[in-house]
Amino acid sequence: MKISILRHIVVCVLATTSLLHAQSANHSAVKPAPRPEKNWQDRAKLLDQRLKDTPDTELLFIGDSITEGWEGKGAKEIWAKNYDRRKAVNLGIGGDRTQHVLWRLTNAPLDGVKPKAAVVMIGTNNSNAEDNTPGQIAEGVTAIVRKLRERLPDMKILLLAIFPRGENFNAQRGKLAQINQVLAKLDDGKNVLFLDIGHHFLNSDGILPAEIMPDYLHLSAKGYEMWADAIEPRLSELLGEKK
């Protein structure tokens, strides 16, 4: 009788655990999804074509508007200086969330490229209001890392902590900090390297200067230069470049 009751308890616990796991994975941040806007679809097609036109690329940048911003005034000169020689391809689309990047990576023509490394920074758009919890966003970024490992197993991933946003201390910064703490666990010391450069953008009093992020989210040319300088040592190492 006691054994029967014990078995029943174990079955119930396992069933509850499975249900909770299924519920945790049943959210927008991990479900690959395209966006309906024509400008997004046009941009996605453009990026796919970039991959096809650059089969010898050594480096990918993957993300949202902050990554797409490398093509903006001032930033594109910094890109040319640091990444043209590496045949880098910018795969950023403004407004993207983890689910949109997942969809793009699932459908992108990656079979024709063999990049040595990718710089990944995504998730800030999922953090708006109550759209996704910190745990859900972390799961979304984790799914992206897994998809990249699946499709490009020989490529190294430089996973960046989500940049701070907002001029002063705020709840959203706290949300991002929680996500980054989890993302740091993805660093395996071999294929995935985590790097938090967010502190470079802040003053000693925690203020995010407008000269670095004019709208306290998107970088100025100075901000992009700081980004490039902050990741260069680790990126050069991942690319196997001689010092």
Enumerate the active-site residues.
65, 215, 218
Cα distance between residue 188 and residue 178, in whole Å: 19
- Side by side, the strands of the sheet bearing 156-160 are 89-92, 59-63, 117-121, 156-160, 192-195
Q: Residue 73 burial (CB < 10 Å; 0-12/13-18/19+)?
A: exposed
| Angstrom distances, CA of residue 190 to CA of 186, 230, 235, 238 | 11, 20, 13, 9
Question: How does strand 192-195 pair with strand 156-160?
Answer: parallel
What CA–CA distance (Å, rounded) separates 168 from 235? 30
Rounded CA separation 87/19 (Å): 45
